[in-house]
């Protein structure tokens, strides 16, 4: 555990030192939001979002690039330096999901700059994102099933539930769900990164209880890097994750939960993310098929803004709820076997 915590400190220090020149670099290459008009995946204007976020125009996004680089290099170095035995395919699902979804997010970020105003949409359309995400998720889920022999889920009070080949679509669904949940939640300064920080602490405790040293090292390094990023991401943020960050971190979070075998715990610890994507999905489907809104605004954090809640108030209370859910999820993980 001392080595793991030492890596968290090292990752925090390295990321913190690099962030200031990295932010300056993003300004120089103009990787930042350029205008006050955004559109949803159905190419419809989002005036309510623009109302509460127009003042953020000019803030650079792309913080996820630095997090991916630091975490990947430092984790691989730690495995070798500490002589940690790792399974090749486990290493593959961790870094393939982390990096591949990050590349997809980076492409989407760049698309916003190059084609946003000319083509008429903010990044990739929903169907394009979902197709690519599904392909990536199915690749990762297939490795879980065929190479790592994951064929079941563990549910508290029920026990092991065998899924067989159905584990592949199940794992792919979990991955795509959390990738998009992180992306949707990343609408307020510090919201996604702060919630992830809390969730990672919970899974660090769980991995320690499971004696999974290789997973613990990845979580510890990710924890430190995200913690340093959060310092610059809290209200008023100097840098955002961007899609490159939210997609990669959502994929990493889902894979951590799947590898731990605690899928129900994953849903509990990531409960705020679940609420965010559920509210957005319900609203989206209602508008698409019934031409009416279920909520006055979605996702849930935007609804709270419409009700008059200030951004820092929403974020801090979300952190508090995330902390409570993390404690509950960790408790359930520690009192059960499987």
Q: Kindly indicate the confidence band of residue 31, based on its pLDDT and cuts at 50, 70 and 90.
A: confident
* Tokens at 152, concatenated: 């079941």
Is residue 93 pLDDT above 50, yes or no? yes
Q: What ranges do the domains of the chain cover?
A: 2-335
CA–CA gap between residue 276 and residue 322 (Å, rounded): 12
Predicted pLDDT at 30: 84
Is residue 131 pLDDT above 70, yes or no? yes
Cβ(29)–Cβ(187) below 8 Å:
no
Pinpoint the alpha helices (H) of the chain: 2-28, 47-53, 63-81, 88-115, 126-146, 167-185, 191-209, 213-233, 242-260, 263-269, 271-289, 300-306, 311-335
Predicted pLDDT at 35: 60
Predicted pLDDT at 338: 54
CA–CA gap between residue 211 and residue 284 (Å, rounded): 42
Q: pLDDT tens digits, residue range 142-192?
A: 999 999 999 988 877 777 889 999 999 999 999 999 999 999 999 899 999
Q: pLDDT tens digits, residue range 238-288?
A: 999 999 999 999 999 999 999 999 889 999 999 999 999 999 999 888 887
Note if the pTM is more than 0.85. yes
Q: pLDDT tens digits, residue range 48-63?
A: 666 777 767 889 999 9
């Amino acid at each position: 555990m001392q080595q793991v915590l030492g890596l968290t400190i090292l990752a925090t220090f390295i990321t913190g030192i690099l962030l200031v020149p990295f932010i300056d670099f993003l300004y120089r290459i103009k990787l930042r939001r350029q205008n006050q008009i955004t559109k949803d995946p159905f190419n419809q204007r989002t005036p309510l979002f623009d109302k509460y976020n127009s003042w953020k125009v000019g803030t650079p996004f792309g913080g996820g690039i630095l997090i991916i680089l630091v975490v990947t290099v430092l984790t691989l170095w730690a495995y070798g330096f500490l002589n940690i035995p790792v399974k090749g395919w486990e290493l593959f699902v961790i870094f393939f999901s982390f990096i591949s979804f990050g590349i997809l997010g980076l492409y989407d970020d760049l698309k916003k700059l190059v084609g946003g105003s000319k083509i008429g949409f903010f990044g990739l359309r929903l169907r394009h994102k979902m197709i690519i995400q599904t392909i990536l998720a199915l690749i990762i889920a297939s490795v879980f099933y065929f190479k790592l022999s994951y064929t079941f889920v563990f549910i508290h009070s029920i026990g092991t539930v065998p899924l067989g080949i159905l584990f592949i679509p199940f794992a792919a669904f979990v991955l795509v769900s959390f990738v998009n949940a992180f992306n949707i939640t990343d609408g307020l300064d510090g919201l996604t990164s702060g919630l992830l920080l809390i969730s990672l602490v919970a899974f660090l405790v769980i991995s320690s209880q499971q004696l999974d040293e290789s997973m613990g090292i990845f979580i510890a390094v990710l924890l430190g890097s995200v913690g340093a990023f959060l310092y610059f991401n809290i209200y008023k943020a100097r840098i955002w994750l961007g899609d490159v960050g939210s997609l990669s971190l959502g994929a990493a979070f889902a894979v951590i939960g799947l590898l731990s075998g605690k899928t129900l715990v994953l849903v509990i610890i990531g409960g705020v993310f679940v609420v965010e994507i559920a509210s957005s999905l319900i609203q989206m489907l209602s508008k698409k098929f019934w031409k009416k809104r279920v909520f006055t605004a979605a996702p849930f954090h935007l609804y709270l803004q419409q009700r008059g809640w200030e951004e820092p108030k929403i974020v801090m209370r979300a952190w508090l709820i995330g902390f409570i859910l993390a404690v509950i999820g960790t408790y359930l993980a520690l009192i059960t076997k499987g």
